[in-house]
Amino acid sequence: MSAELLDGKTLAGQLREELAVRASELAARVGAAPRLAIIRFDAEGPSAVYVRSVTRAAERVGVEPVVVTMQADAAQVAVAEQIEGLNRDPSVAGIVIAEPLPVGLSKTEVAVSIDPAKDVDGSGPMNAGWLARGEPRLVPATALSVMTILRRHDIQIAGRLAVVVGRSPVIGRPAAQLLIGADATVVVCHSRTRDLGVETRRAEILVVAAGRPGLIGPDMVSPGCVVVDCGINTTAAGVVGDVSFEAVRAIAAAITPVPGGVGPVTSMMVVSQTIDAAERLAALETPS
């Protein structure tokens, strides 16, 4: 039997409709659409796909994207000044940075500059700290996408064994923390894990974010497992995930495709958290 397809494209469409309602209600209340600033350091380079997908997601929901293109060799201080201006601008609810950053710039320092209340990709240490405490506020969008896919497909999380492959601050680590928050028992694997297959075969939920095409084959998944593949790898055969899709699909209970799984939902999560941030901002400004 073939696994249920966890179709991110269809889910992104549903989320778009729901978010559009929230965005228009908010705009009617405060008199303007929420704005999302996207800072990038190249006009046409590798950041283009990310900028395009977030911009389109925002526009279709009724959040106004503001793309700020900085010099490809911008200095740390110039980036901090740009971000400070956006932090102070009450019309801007969210700020995200499109990678790659200029050579020599510290990702952490850039993330630190963003007002935690506007850090809608949960990239800064303040939001990472809240998440680590089990009190998530704004969280990394891909990790939130994983949870949204599981929840919206009514997949039971509480009490189940979730194995996460990858421990980056962008996906693996926050996904593990969100799964703990949802009462899963969580195992986190990485490049030093002694026997990856031993761990992944125990998984009832398997989240893979390693950036290694074909890392998870059918011999590494047990029947009935729910597989969420975050990998995006460009190969001669096109864009593939970290999981051997067709072979694993024959064993798993449910699986996300790549493309069309985690990716489309991730852009919606950035927009969703921008609306969250704008609603909080509006509540602060409205005297009760």
Binding interface with ligand NDP (CB under 6 A): 142, 165-168, 170-172, 189-193, 196, 209-212, 215, 230-233, 262-263, 266
Rank residues 153 and 280 by Cβ distance to ligand NDP and give the closer one. Answer: 153
CB of 48 to ligand NDP, least distance (A): 15
Which amino acid is it at 70? M
CB of 103 to ligand NDP, least distance (A): 18
DSSP assignment letter at 2 = P
Q: Where are the alpha helices (DSSP H) in 133-285?
A: 141-152, 172-181, 196-200, 245-249, 262-285
Lookup: tokens for 134: 């089990």
Strand, coil or helix: what is 143? helix
Rank residues 12 and 26 by Cβ distance to ligand NDP and give the closer one. Answer: 12
Lookup: tokens for 101: 């950053």
Rank residues 88 and 194 by Cβ distance to ligand NDP and give the closer one. Answer: 194
Rank residues 202 and 280 by Cβ distance to ligand NDP and give the closer one. Answer: 202
CB of 131 to ligand NDP, least distance (A): 15
Nearest to 261 by CA among 4, 1, 2: 4
CB of 229 to ligand NDP, least distance (A): 8
Rank residues 46 and 90 by Cβ distance to ligand NDP and give the closer one. Answer: 46
79 contact partners, CB below 8 Å, separation of at least 6: 39, 70, 105, 110, 113
Q: Where are the alpha helices (DSSP H) in the chain?
A: 8-30, 48-61, 76-88, 107-113, 125-132, 141-152, 172-181, 196-200, 245-249, 262-285
CB of 261 to ligand NDP, least distance (A): 8
CB of 176 to ligand NDP, least distance (A): 11
Enumerate the β-bridge partners of residue 64: 35
Calpha distance 85→63 (Å, rounded): 19
Rank residues 127 and 142 by Cβ distance to ligand NDP and give the closer one. Answer: 142
Lookup: tokens for 80: 């901090």
